[in-house]
Amino acid sequence: MNKALDLITRVRGVRGAMLVSADDGLIVAEQLMEGIKGGAVAALAASLAGRLRRAMEAAGTGASVFWHLQAEQGALLVVPGRGGGGNAQGGILVVAVAEPDVNIGLVRLELLRAAEAVV
Amino acid sequence: MSPHTRAVEGWTLQPLTDFVREASVRLVLVLTPSGQVLAQSGFSRAVDVMSAAALAAAIVASTAELARQLKQPPFAALSHQGPKHGFFLATFMADRGTLAVLAVYDLDVSSLGLVQLFYEQLAADLKTASPKGAVQKQVLAADFERELTDSLNTLFGR
């Protein structure tokens, strides 16, 4: 798990990465820079994942594979592992907190690799 | 404010209302370890409040004793999860004395992580709002029934 997180946090501009239990919003593993409230990010990202899953089910789009929330001072990137975004129960969310100018494509690739590695 | 959130002690009302809204919990009790209810949210019947408060107080007492036998400080929180609902029970110290919070949540609406996150805020808000220098009143058996009736009347707006 730590190796999977290492590959994400090695990308320039990534301030932290976490594996989060999608069901209960608790941190499974983390590598975060100081100042990031990991517990809060995990709980709120998992809550958002559940609501997004329902929205996507309602829209008939199928399971989400990646989300990117861009803010003024940073970005939140999430890949739901198997069950975390598509299925009703279970699963792991791979979460990255990044600088606003991070290479999104590269982080996405590492998040997808991490999701494959941990599931 | 939720119409189902009521407090016997007014200072608990705003922190509890915020907690209910943010953590999306279904039922909450703020109580003392002896089972005296200070505020409730989501309950519609007095008998349910009485039962939940008595059971929560019993769990607090039994886990405290278990910790004492293990020569450990009292457990900070207890979480139990079923197929559809979870419950979370935790205690903290305020100027009012030790307080316990019992929260019941639906797993498809909230999560343990959310409840834990906003419980920390609730405990901090209650500590801030708790009346300073209040002398804890002993609950005497003679007064117990009257106080319980008064509390339930307040909680259910009678």
d(CA A33, CA A27): 15
Residue A46 at interface with chain B, using a CB cutoff of 8 Å: yes
Distance from CA of B86 to the nearest CA of A (A): 10
Residue B30: left (phi > 0), alpha (psi -120 to 50), or beta? beta
Q: Is residue A102 within 8 Å of residue A113, measured between CB atoms? A: no
Predicted pLDDT of residue A88:
39
> Cβ contacts (< 8 Å) between A49 and chain B: which residues?
none
Residue A66's pLDDT is 93
Q: Return phi, psi of residue A18, to 5°.
A: -145, 150
CB distance A43–B117 less than 8 Å? yes
pLDDT tens, residue order, chain B (158 aa): 455 888 888 899 999 999 999 999 999 999 999 999 999 999 988 888 889 999 999 999 999 999 999 999 888 899 999 999 999 999 999 988 899 999 999 998 999 999 999 999 999 999 999 887 765 666 566 666 677 777 777 777 66
In angstroms, rounded to a whole number, what is the distance separating the alpha carbons of residues A13 and B40?
46
Homologous superfamily of B5-131+146-152: Dynein light chain 2a, cytoplasmic (3.30.450.30)
Position A86 scores a pLDDT of: 45
Identify all chain B residues contacting A42, using CB atoms and an 8 Å cutoff: 113
Count A/B contacts: CB-CB distance under 8 Å: 37
Distance CA B13, CA B38 (A): 9
Q: What phi and psi, each to the nearest 5 degrees, are found at residue B26?
A: -90, -45
The secondary structure of residue A31, as a DSSP letter, is E
Best mutation target among A19, A21, A24, A95 (most B Cβ atoms within 10 Å) is: A24
Q: Cα separation of B62 and B70, whole Å?
A: 12
pTM over 0.90: no
Nearest-Cα distance to chain B for A30, in Å, is 15
CA distance A72 to chain B (A): 24
Residue matched to tokens 């590598």: A31
Residues of chain B in contact with residue A95, where contact means CB-CB under 8 angstroms, are none
- A2 to chain B, minimum CA–CA distance in Å? 21
pLDDT at site B134: 62
Per-residue pLDDT, A26: 95
Report the alpha-carbon angle B11-B13-B15, nearest 5.
90
Q: Which residues of chain A carry a pLDDT beneath 50?
A: 84-89
The tokens describing A66, both together, are 């990646």
Was domain A2-118 assigned CATH 3.30.450.30?
Answer: yes
B100, B56 in Cβ contact below 8 A? yes
**What are B51-86's pLDDT values in tens digits?**
999 999 999 999 999 999 999 988 889 999 999 999
Q: How many residues does chain A have?
A: 119
The reported pLDDT for the residue numbered A89 is 45
How many C-beta neighbours within 10 Å does residue A28 have? 14
Q: What does B32-74 look like in DSSP terms, one character per residue?
A: -TTS-EEEEES---HHHHHHHHHHHHHHHHHHHHHHHHTT-PP
Per-window interface: A 84-113 vs B, CB < 8 A: none
Q: Where are the domains of chain A?
A: 2-118
